[in-house]
Amino acid sequence: MDGSLNALTMFSLVLLVAVLGSVRRSHIRVEYSVSWLGAALLLLVLSRSPALMAWVAKLVGIEDPPLALLGAVMAVFLFVFYRFSTVVSDLKEANIALTQRVAILEYYLQSDHESRKA
Amino acid sequence: MKRAAGPGELMIIVPAFNEEAAVAGVVEEIQRVVPGVPVLVIDDCSADGTAAAAKGAGAQVLSLPYHLGLGGGVQAGYRLAFELGYEYVIRLDGDGQHDPAYIPKLFDVLKTSGCQMVIGSRFVDPEAAYTSVARSWGIRFFRIILRPILGKTVHDPTSGYVGVNYDALALFSKSFPLEYPEIEALVVLQRKAFRFQEVPCKMRPRRTGRSTITAGKSLYYIIHVLLGVFVNILKFERHRWRW
């Protein structure tokens, strides 16, 4: 179990550093880094307090702490993926609306240009 | 730009993606059947000369800067027609499957029936039916699924040969399914208590190219459409469940 917790601690720290680095280089916008940073911090806290991990395992009725750890990791990342699915969907909606608006404005411009020429 | 001169004006929209070989013929045919009615070809970012061919044949062209798929393209056409003040819009595909000879019939039913949408249907008259065996089975499947949802049988729910009036145009210009829109659009109309009617039409084989719904995509199509129908039911029934 200690090995798993240490590996999770390392993973959380790497995730934290990678996300903060990406935000600094503007590869990830601040608002979209919050989910990742929250997930990394949560995993860090869980990995550094076996008592809390045992309490969570008991709460969800999983006897085996490593299994509970795996469940916690999966739950955290499922939440992050869900959040990004909603973000991607919103962006796609916005993209469609923008694409249609650009096409319509281009149509108006072209029509205006042709009527001036005529 | 040709704005609608007054109430009752019709615009024909033709979504097209890589239909360079067929679209000019479709536009010319439409102009022969309904001379003077504006024809708008929506070029969904084709890689070939679809836009130039359509323009050369005398159509107005709405060119999307990147590929949106059928629903996104059709909605762009609806949005423009709505902004220009058209009261009726008839949509037919750019591949030549939909015979423009039926436009006057669709327009007439649209104006006189009080329905918000009319559907050119190849199955109302069984002799007029032209489609592949696989598609025919798919259509039968959706006919059965849609019967209890729509409260009536729609013989050809996947037909893209449709006409809409101002009410449906206003609705679709705001919200329209992105992929495989025909079936979902029926559910949206029904949930809004709008009415639609089928008009018998003969369909033809496409002049060029291939259908976007290949054998491999058929399963995805069925799942996508079923999910879309389910989501639209949830969306429009939501207010009924609120306490």
Q: What is the CATH number of the domain that holds B163?
A: 3.90.550.10
Domain span holding position B42: 10-241
Residue A27 lies in a domain: yes
Residue B130, pLDDT score: 58
Residue B1 lies in a domain: no
Residue B22 lies in a domain: yes
Quick check: A102 contacting B, CB < 8 Å? Answer: yes
Residue B3 lies in a domain: no
Residue B65 lies in a domain: yes
ipTM score of complex = 0.84
Residue A96 lies in a domain: no
Residue B243, pLDDT score: 47
Domain span holding position A47: 2-83
As for how many domains chain B has, the answer is 1
Q: What is the pLDDT of residues A62-118, one digit of tens each?
A: 877 777 877 888 888 899 899 899 999 999 999 999 999 999 999 999 998 888 887
The CA dihedral of B223, B224, B230, B234, to the nearest 10 degrees, is 150
How far is residue B179's CA from residue B188's CA, in Å, rounded to a whole number? 14
Tokens (6 digits) for A28 = 């990830």
Residue B136 lies in a domain: yes
Q: What is the pLDDT of residues B151-169, one digit of tens each?
A: 888 888 889 999 999 999 9
Contacts of A115 in chain B (CB under 8 A): 1
Residue % of chain B over a pLDDT of 70: 87
CB contact under 8 A, A104 and B1: no
Residue B51 has pLDDT above 80, yes or no: yes
- Mean pLDDT over each residue of chain A, to the nearest integer: 88
Residue B88 lies in a domain: yes
The beta-carbon neighbor of A103 closest among B2, B62, B178 is B62
As for how many domains chain A has, the answer is 1
Residue B1, pLDDT score: 61
Chain B interface, best mutation among A90, A92, A100, by max B CB count within 10 A: A100
Strands laid side by side in the B39-43 sheet: B60-63, B39-43, B10-16, B88-91, B162-164, B117-121, B196-200
Q: What is the pLDDT of residues B107-138, one digit of tens each?
A: 999 999 989 999 999 877 665 555 667 777 88
CB contact under 8 A, B65 and A99: yes
Quick check: A97 contacting B, CB < 8 Å? Answer: no
Nearest CA in chain B to A116: B1
CB contact under 8 A, A107 and B72: no
Quick check: A96 contacting B, CB < 8 Å? Answer: yes
Ramachandran angles phi, psi of B192, nearest 5°: -90, 5
CB contact under 8 A, B178 and A96: yes
Residue A110 lies in a domain: no
Nearest CA in chain A to B74: A100
CB contact under 8 A, B65 and A103: yes
CB contact under 8 A, B68 and A100: yes
- Under DSSP, is residue B10 helix (H, G, I), strand (E, B) or coil? strand
CB contact under 8 A, B1 and A107: yes
Distances (CA, A) of A72 to A14, A40, A59, A108, B13: 18, 12, 12, 54, 52
Distances (CA, A) of A22 to A19, A29, A85, B64, B133: 5, 8, 20, 33, 53
The one-letter amino acid at B78: Y
CB contact under 8 A, B1 and A115: yes
CB contact under 8 A, A100 and B76: yes
Residue A23 lies in a domain: yes
Contacts of A99 in chain B (CB under 8 A): 64-66, 68, 72, 76
Residue A60 lies in a domain: yes
Residue B118 lies in a domain: yes
